[in-house]
Amino acid sequence: MRDALIHRRTILRGAGAAIALPWLEAMLPRGVMSSACAAAFAPKPITRVAYLFFPNGVNVDAWVPTSDGQGGWNASPTLMPLEEFRRDITVYRGLTHANAAALGDGPGDHARSAACFLTGAHAKKTAGEDIRNGRSIDQVIADGLESSGVRTRLRSLELGSEPAMTSGDCDSGYSCAYSANISWKSESLPNGKETDPRAAFDRIFGRRDESPAETAARAHSRRSILDGAVSEARKLMREVGTDDRARLDEYLEGMRGIERRLDLDAASALDPNEKLPDFDNAPRTVSARIDLLGEVMALAFRTDSTRVATMMLANEGSNRPYTEVGVSSGHHEVSHHDRNPEKLADFAKINRFHTERLAAFLRALSRTKELGQPLLDSTIVLYGGAINDGNRHNHDDLPILVAGGRARKIDRPGESGRLIECAQGTPLCNLHQGIARKLDVTLESFGDASGVVAL
């Protein structure tokens, strides 16, 4: 049988970008005609994982969903924005991060919770350079994928809406590195994160051999980073069939559409009521920034630029106001509600705002197709934080849910999703191990795991 017309690993290269092709029928060996044969040669669905973190805990009364009596869940006020995805979501109760507690170290629950979220480790209390934490599960999974032969442009992608910090005292003697990062490459090295959606896009698709001067010249002339690669793709379209041309056109238009939105947002005037510190190119609103970061993450998955990603919706302990939803007081301030009805109401509004950002990300995954299926089906999304009640700073019965992953046969038998009541005190790391297994990464142990929570 002859070679395929196009090699599966073909890369479109232009003056500023390098883009992997989606799967095309032209990648099948020549002579494969029947649909049955084509199915045998088609690639298996790729599994990705995304971790979305929110800070400061929740208004518990507004967060906790009720059981529908059949294993599913009825939406609470905070989870209402996820109604359209309920069949794709499992809500967990009873999960705990014991190592986010003080354990004799005194105040600092915010810093410890972010540091512990994906590591299960108890961060060393220091505001100096001698920071120590555990490696995070996203990096362990990236290691496992690499050892199995998976090679992507980025081994992992780290995003966030507030700056990554590596020094300073942000919480009662704990380094800002703990509060501002959830992805840890090593015990003493957080990965940092990209906060500008346009810069994240350029990092994913930009050519590594493009010099800073070439990048600056291209940006100044407003040329698309994709121009050269798109030109190559147009030539390729003349060599493939009608279905493949449609796939290529949809694929490229999806990238160009997001790039155009990024350019428009970068050029828009800032709303002074929503201006964030240290951002030179912030979109008008916090929601626009976070949703664009989510779109970029979905595109990174779609183009197989990475299979592992994290996003911090805000840094732990953040005191950002959310004027978009009518909250002028700071997030951290209202999380210390002391049962004050006005603060509780504002806290619930912020919690729901973050849930809406998750819904926007799930929507981006759902409308993107791969091998005829929504990208959400092949992506496992863990959403939550490592503080339960923002007023108490407790780290048990954490607000955690998992969305997507139908292609990996995650068990949700009904249309109402699934509500899983774990035994109180079950380590969140048990769920981290369960997610790793769905990506075919089996761990002997991780963090303080005592077993595996199945998905």
State how far the Cα of 419 lies from the Cα of 75, in Å rounded to an integer: 11
Which pLDDT score, from 0 to 100, does residue 95 have? Answer: 98
Task: Pick the closest to residue 277 from 306, 247, 241, 319 (CA basis).
Answer: 319
Q: Residues 318, 180: contact at Cβ < 8 Å?
A: no
Measured CA distances, 253 to 237, 299, 368 (Å): 14, 12, 12
Q: Residues 222, 157: contact at Cβ < 8 Å?
A: no
Measured CA distances, 385 to 148, 202, 389, 423 (Å): 30, 29, 11, 18
What dihedral angle (degrees, nearest 10) is formed by the CA atoms of 142, 145, 150, 155? 0
Q: Which residues are 393's β-sheet partners?
A: none
Per-residue tokens: 446:
């991780």
State how far the Cα of 36 lies from the Cα of 31, in Å rounded to an integer: 13
> 3-state class of 67 per DSSP?
strand
Which pLDDT score, from 0 to 100, does residue 246 have? Answer: 85
Burial class (CB in 10 A: 0-12, 13-18, 19+), 9: exposed
State how far the Cα of 300 lies from the Cα of 284, in Å rounded to an integer: 24
Task: Pick the closest to residue 315 from 151, 193, 203, 140 (CA basis).
Answer: 193
Q: Which residues of 146-171 are buried (b: 16+ CB within 10 A; e: fewer)?
A: eeeebebbebbbbbbbbebbeeeebb
Q: Residues 379, 50: contact at Cβ < 8 Å?
A: yes
Which pLDDT score, from 0 to 100, does residue 271 have? Answer: 47
Which domains does the chain possess?
Answer: 1-43+197-278 (no CATH), 47-196+306-438 (3.40.720)
State how far the Cα of 212 lies from the Cα of 218, in Å rounded to an integer: 10
Q: How far apart are the first and last CA of the chain?
A: 41
The β-bridge relationship of strands 369-370 and 373-374 is antiparallel
Number of alpha helices (DSSP H) and beta strands (DSSP E) in the chain: 13, 19
The β-bridge relationship of strands 73-74 and 327-330 is unpaired
Per-residue tokens: 209:
């051999």
Helices 242-267, 286-302: axis angle to 10 degrees equals: 150
Question: CA-based Rg of the chain, rounded to a whole angstrom?
Answer: 22
State how far the Cα of 101 lies from the Cα of 116, in Å rounded to an integer: 10
Per-residue tokens: 428:
């969140």
Q: Which residues are 404's β-sheet partners?
A: 380
Which pLDDT score, from 0 to 100, does residue 282 have? Answer: 47
If phi > 0 it is left, if psi is from -120 to 50 it is alpha, else beta; for residue 168 that is: left
Q: Which residues are 403's β-sheet partners?
A: 89, 381
430 Cβ contact list (under 8 Å, min separation 6): 95, 422, 449, 450, 451, 452, 453
Per-residue tokens: 16:
């500023």
Q: Residues 180, 115: contact at Cβ < 8 Å?
A: no
Give the max Cα distance, the chain: 73
Which pLDDT score, from 0 to 100, does residue 401 have? Answer: 98
* DSSP alpha helix (H) spans, 54-158: 60-63, 109-117, 137-147
Which pLDDT score, from 0 to 100, does residue 371 have? Answer: 77
Neighbour tally for 451: CB within 10 Å:
11
If phi > 0 it is left, if psi is from -120 to 50 it is alpha, else beta; for residue 173 that is: left
Tens-of-pLDDT digits for all 455 residues of the chain?
346 567 666 777 765 567 777 777 777 776 554 455 555 566 677 899 999 999 999 999 999 999 999 999 999 999 999 999 999 999 999 999 999 999 999 999 999 999 999 999 999 999 999 999 999 999 999 999 999 999 898 999 999 999 988 888 999 999 999 999 999 999 999 998 999 998 899 888 875 555 666 655 555 555 566 776 777 777 787 778 888 888 888 888 888 888 888 877 766 644 445 444 444 444 568 999 999 999 999 999 998 999 999 999 999 999 999 999 999 999 999 999 999 999 999 999 999 999 999 999 999 999 988 878 899 999 999 999 999 999 999 999 999 999 999 999 898 888 899 999 999 999 999 999 999 999 999 999 999 999 999 89
Which pLDDT score, from 0 to 100, does residue 240 have? Answer: 81
State how far the Cα of 325 lies from the Cα of 131, in Å rounded to an integer: 36
